[in-house]
């Protein structure tokens, strides 16, 4: 009983220490485990994503090489098809020995002229005529006779598709001891459609492999799979000629769905599969990355776990020692804070006790001071906001704008353009009526666009229609609210500052809903300007506005005061390529935004 009572007293007197130690120990262990596994997972994902990007670029380079090879084959094919000498030799009937020798000499000269187009790829070139004539540029590459080649399946397949340049796979046999890829094309008389021969471009698979071999490794495989699901080329020789219907289906799925890569399991191994369809060859270029092999070279999981375990043990020991020291001071500090005046944030607490307790007390008192300063800043911000709103309402119309507009109306009337002057008066009345009589904080998009059109009408009547203005407004955005005169300064800037060098151009106003926000864009193709930053209003110098006193900077600050720092104005421009202004606002249905409540 005495032992139990003593243990109970020890637990009660040290409850703060025990709770603090247990919580911190469990937190350290949990955080360490989470960080460890999260780091391993993030490192793996980041590496695989980076690896996929680099491999995607590698596939693009491989594709370019294959296209270059195809281009050489196409050029050589066109030259053979358009060569009258070759056609004549392959179509002439049996002749005497002298004429036969001359024909062989003539066709040899023509083929020797064409052959360099593909020779750099170690590709052979063979022409086969229906008149039992065969001309082979490199017999060591493919020592084939006319009879064998004439009855070969690839010849029959080519003749059945005379209008297509085909790439066919020939596995290693007694006939050819190494696998080859043969490009074939039927030679056809265009006027009659009669086939008079077949053109072949055989290349050994080991030579063809050179187009991509520099991008492969043990864990990074590259394969070419034809439509029959047969592997026609691979950096792993044992796979050449194998059927791979599953691989073909996966490659087609990646291509059809437009995926950058897909995690797959083939023969019990996890791969990252990337695929690129080669329409010229009617084959799929497939890249298989062995994820386990790649990650094994990147991350030593055991080492990371051991390091994390060591850190956790060290942290637990340190926490145990430190928590014993600060428990008493913290207990006194908690009592002092709890007994301080309730809701009296102006009364500081005494900075007594140990070093840690003093630091906490000092931080608490500093927080109280900062809270008071923050309250003052909020009050000032509210006053600044109300002052800015009041100034916006009081200085919306510049007398110079009214004077110049009325002078233009007078000039139109004197010239007898009464209808145009009437339209301009109506536009001015509507613009002034909304600007002066509408005391609400916000107006609808529909009303803002109406005011902009009136403003554009007035300016085009005064300065001509060299600057075209187009409106693209999403119908579902017409009833949304936005601050009054929020877009007009940018239209004004476009009219008076964007077309100083070039006198004509266009301004486009686009309003749409994007990502749950109201997006307004003003785009012009004017002179453009240099912006030091990339998109902020601080880099734009304020210019005098003839209609309202609301400038670009005022618009940005006004939006952020009303709706927060995540909204505002974004400006991008390039000299000679115009300016683009994006105004992002929250979707507002009510007539007024929420006001900040005073503290």
- Predicted pLDDT of residue 550: 59
- Could you say which of 175, 208, 241 is where a domain stops? 208
**Spatial distance between the Cα atoms of 160 and 168, rounded to a whole number of angstroms:** 14
- Predicted pLDDT of residue 488: 83
C-alpha distances in Å from residue 483, one per residue of 288, 434, 507, 583: 55, 13, 21, 11
**Spatial distance between the Cα atoms of 537 and 76, rounded to a whole number of angstroms:** 59
Structure tokens at 596: 């900040």
Q: Which residues contact 525 (CB under 8 A, 6 or more apart)?
A: 505, 506, 577, 578
- Predicted pLDDT of residue 385: 67
The continuous run of DSSP H or E covering 271 comes out as: strand 269-278
- Predicted pLDDT of residue 535: 47
**Spatial distance between the Cα atoms of 176 and 174, rounded to a whole number of angstroms:** 5
Domain count along the chain: 2
List strand residue ranges (DSSP E) for 57-157, in order: 126-129, 134-136
| SS3 of 317-385 | HHHHHHHHHHHHHHHHHHHHHHHCCCCCCCCCCCCCCCHHHHHHHHHHHHHHHHHHHHHHHHHHHHHHH
CB 196 within 8 A of CB 43: no
What are the backbone dihedrals phi and psi of residue 471, each rounded to the nearest 5 degrees, phi first? -115, 130
CB 567 within 8 A of CB 560: yes
Q: How many CB atoms lie within 10 A of CB 320?
A: 13
- Predicted pLDDT of residue 28: 74
Which 8-state DSSP code applies to residue 56? H
Q: What is the CATH number of the domain that holds 118?
A: 3.30.450.20
- For residue 413, tell me if it sits in a domain: yes
- Predicted pLDDT of residue 272: 87
Residue owning tokens 């598709």: 161
pLDDT per residue of the chain (599 residues) written in tens, 0 to 9: 667 767 666 665 556 666 666 777 777 777 777 776 776 667 666 666 676 777 888 888 999 999 999 999 999 999 999 998 898 888 887 667 777 788 888 888 999 999 999 999 999 999 999 888 899 998 888 888 899 899 999 999 999 999 999 999 988 875 667 899 999 999 998 888 899 999 999 999 988 988 888 888 878 889 999 999 999 999 888 889 899 999 999 999 988 888 888 888 888 888 889 898 999 999 999 999 888 777 776 666 677 677 777 887 787 777 766 666 666 666 666 665 665 555 555 667 677 766 666 777 777 777 767 776 776 777 677 656 655 654 554 455 566 677 677 877 887 888 887 787 888 888 788 777 766 655 456 789 998 899 889 888 888 887 788 889 999 999 999 999 988 778 888 888 888 888 888 888 999 999 999 989 999 999 999 888 887 654 444 444 444 444 444 567 778 877 887 788 889 899 998 888 899 999 999 998 855 444 433 32
- For residue 26, tell me if it sits in a domain: no
CB 533 within 8 A of CB 471: no
**Spatial distance between the Cα atoms of 346 and 369, rounded to a whole number of angstroms:** 8
- For residue 431, tell me if it sits in a domain: yes
- Could you say which of 174, 208, 242 is where a domain stops? 208
C-alpha distances in Å from residue 408, one per residue of 145, 496, 544, 548: 93, 17, 20, 19
**Spatial distance between the Cα atoms of 417 and 462, rounded to a whole number of angstroms:** 13
Nearest to 312 by CA among 43, 34, 42: 34
The maximal CA–CA distance of the chain, rounded, in angstroms, is 129
- Predicted pLDDT of residue 395: 52
Classified as helix, coil or strand, 193 is: coil
- Predicted pLDDT of residue 345: 58
CB 443 within 8 A of CB 585: no
What are the backbone dihedrals phi and psi of residue 73, each rounded to the nearest 5 degrees, phi first? -65, -45
**Spatial distance between the Cα atoms of 588 and 440, rounded to a whole number of angstroms:** 14
- Could you say which of 159, 180, 208 is where a domain stops? 208
- For residue 283, tell me if it sits in a domain: no
The continuous run of DSSP H or E covering 150 comes out as: helix 146-150
Beta bridge partners of 182: 168, 202
**Spatial distance between the Cα atoms of 111 and 511, rounded to a whole number of angstroms:** 64
Q: What is the CATH number of the domain that holds 417?
A: 3.30.565.10
- Predicted pLDDT of residue 330: 66
DSSP strand pairing (505-514 vs 467-473): parallel
What are the backbone dihedrals phi and psi of residue 75, each rounded to the nearest 5 degrees, phi first? -60, -45
- For residue 525, tell me if it sits in a domain: yes
* DSSP secondary structure, 514-576, as one string: ETTEEEEEEEE-S-----SSSS-GGGSPP---SS-S--HHHHHHHHHHHH-TT-EEEEEE-TT
CB 410 within 8 A of CB 424: no
**Spatial distance between the Cα atoms of 285 and 236, rounded to a whole number of angstroms:** 14
What are the backbone dihedrals phi and psi of residue 549, each rounded to the nearest 5 degrees, phi first? -90, 5
- Predicted pLDDT of residue 182: 94
- For residue 404, the enclosing domain spans 395-586
- For residue 55, tell me if it sits in a domain: no
- For residue 417, tell me if it sits in a domain: yes
- Predicted pLDDT of residue 230: 92
- For residue 74, tell me if it sits in a domain: no
**Spatial distance between the Cα atoms of 522 and 448, rounded to a whole number of angstroms:** 14
Q: State the Cα angle at 211 between 293 and 185, rounded to 5°.
A: 130
| pTM score | 0.47
């Amino acid at each position: 009983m005495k032992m139990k009572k003593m243990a109970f007293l020890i637990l009660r007197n040290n409850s703060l220490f025990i709770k603090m130690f247990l919580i911190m120990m469990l937190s350290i262990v949990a955080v360490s485990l989470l960080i460890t596994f999260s780091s391993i997972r993030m490192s793996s994902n980041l590496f695989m994503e980076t690896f996929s990007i680099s491999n995607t670029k590698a596939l693009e380079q491989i594709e370019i090489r294959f296209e270059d090879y195809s281009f050489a084959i196409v050029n050589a094919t066109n030259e053979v098809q358009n060569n009258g000498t070759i056609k004549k030799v392959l179509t002439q009937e049996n002749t005497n020995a002298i004429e036969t020798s001359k024909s062989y000499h003539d066709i040899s000269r023509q083929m020797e002229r064409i052959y360099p187009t593909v020779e750099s790829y170690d590709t052979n070139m063979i022409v086969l005529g229906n008149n039992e004539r065969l001309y082979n540029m490199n017999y060591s590459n493919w020592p084939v006779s006319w009879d064998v080649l004439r009855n070969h399946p690839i010849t029959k397949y080519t003749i059945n598709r005379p209008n297509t340049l085909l790439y066919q796979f020939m596995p290693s046999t007694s006939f050819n001891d190494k696998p080859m890829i043969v490009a074939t094309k039927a030679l056809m008389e265009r006027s009659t459609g009669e086939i008079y021969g077949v053109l072949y471009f055989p290349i050994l698979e080991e030579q063809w492999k050179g187009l991509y071999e520099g991008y492969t490794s043990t864990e990074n495989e590259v394969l070419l799979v034809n439509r029959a699901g047969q592997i026609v080329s691979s950096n792993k020789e044992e796979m050449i000629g194998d059927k791979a219907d599953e691989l073909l289906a996966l490659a087609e799925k990646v291509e059809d769905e437009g995926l950058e890569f897909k995690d797959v399991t083939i023969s019990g191994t996890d791969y990252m599969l990337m695929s690129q369809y080669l329409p010229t060859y009617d084959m799929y270029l497939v890249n298989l990355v062995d994820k386990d092999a790649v990650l094994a070279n990147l991350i030593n999981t055991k080492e990371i776990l051991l390091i994390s375990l060591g850190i956790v043990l060290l942290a637990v020991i340190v926490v145990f020692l430190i928590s014993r020291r600060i428990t008493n001071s913290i207990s006194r500090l908690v009592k002092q804070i709890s007994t301080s005046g309730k809701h009296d944030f102006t009364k500081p607490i005494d900075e007594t006790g140990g070093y840690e307790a003093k630091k906490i007390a000092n931080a608490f008192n500093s927080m109280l001071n900062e809270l008071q300063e923050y309250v003052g800043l909020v009050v000032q911000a509210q006053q600044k906001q109300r002052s800015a709103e009041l100034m916006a309402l009081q200085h919306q119309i510049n007398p110079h704008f009214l004077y110049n507009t009325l002078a233009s109306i007078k000039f139109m009337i004197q010239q007898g353009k009464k209808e145009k002057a009437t339209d301009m008066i109506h536009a001015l009345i509507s613009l002034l009526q909304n600007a002066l009589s509408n005391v609400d904080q916000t107006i609808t998009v529909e009303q803002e666009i109406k005011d902009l059109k009136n403003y554009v009408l007035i300016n085009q009547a005064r300065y001509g229609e060299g600057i075209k203005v187009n409106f693209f407004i999403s119908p579902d955005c017409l009833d949304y609210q936005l601050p009054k005169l929020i877009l007009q300064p940018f239209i004004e800037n476009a009219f008076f500052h964007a077309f100083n060098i070039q006198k004509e151009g266009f301004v486009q106003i686009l309003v749409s809903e994007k990502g749950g926000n109201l997006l307004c864009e003003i785009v012009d193709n004017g002179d453009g300007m240099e912006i030091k930053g990339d998109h902020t209003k601080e880099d734009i110098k304020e210019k005098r506005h003839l209609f309202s006193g609301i400038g670009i900077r005022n618009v940005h600050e006004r939006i952020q005061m009303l709706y927060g720092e995540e909204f505002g104005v974004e400006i991008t421009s390039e000299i000679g390529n115009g300016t683009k202004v994006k105004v992002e606002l929250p979707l507002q249905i009510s007539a007024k935004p929420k006001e900040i409540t005073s503290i």
